Amino acid sequence: MTDEAEGPGDSRDAGRFTAVYDACRQRVWAYAVSRVGRQAADEVVSETFTVAWRRIGDMPDPALPWLLGVARNVLRERYREEARRASFAAELRGWEAGLERSAERDIAEGVAERLAVLRAMAALPEADREILILVAWQGLSPREAAKVVGCTAATLRVRLHRARKRLVRAVEDSPGRAAAPARPRAGIVSEEMS
């Protein structure tokens, strides 16, 4: 056997795959949870890393944006948009219930703001939600998020700006919000993230 193995299977590929898996699995899982909920996230991660193993030679460095793009394609192929929305809404209801219980015990302004942001996120269109999740929750730069979504960095920045404006507007229009609203401090709407 020669040192030049074709395709996945040699020790260099296995070592690289293991390193990428260890470094990125949790972030890919968090991305999947944010899109389809915890029940389906493990399956999406498994399929994503199966594709990564098969295409180890195509995997760029850094691998995270590419892996998130693969995960996005896995989701598109496996679920209709309506099914994804239903799962996301179910997960969000669980978060809201926990926050509402916290709000009953502690009436801190931060908890109320977070609840308003989560409700506003649920009301946003899927495309806006995805961009905000990639940048704010996954911590990707606009350039990296553009690779995941499949557009240019400039286009993504415009979409991100518009999504943030719609999110702020939705938070401000949120039911149960105080009469004298302050702009939310949540990291999701922070302009500093671009």
pLDDT of 9 reads: 56
Per-residue pLDDT tens listing for the chain (194 residues): 344 444 455 778 888 899 999 999 999 999 999 888 888 888 889 999 999 999 888 888 898 999 999 999 888 877 655 555 666 677 777 776 666 665 555 556 667 777 778 888 888 888 888 898 888 888 888 899 999 999 999 999 999 999 999 988 888 877 655 544 444 444 444 444 44
pLDDT of 138 reads: 86
Residues 33, 5: Cα–Cα separation, whole Å: 36
Decide: 36 and 84 in contact? Cβ < 8 Å. yes
pLDDT of 171 reads: 82
pLDDT of 193 reads: 42
Q: What are phi and psi of 10, to 5 degrees?
A: -80, 170
Residue 8: alpha-carbon gap to chain centroid: 28
Please tell us whether the domain made up of 82-193 is placed in CATH 1.10.10.10.
yes
pLDDT of 182 reads: 45
The pTM for the full model equals: 0.49
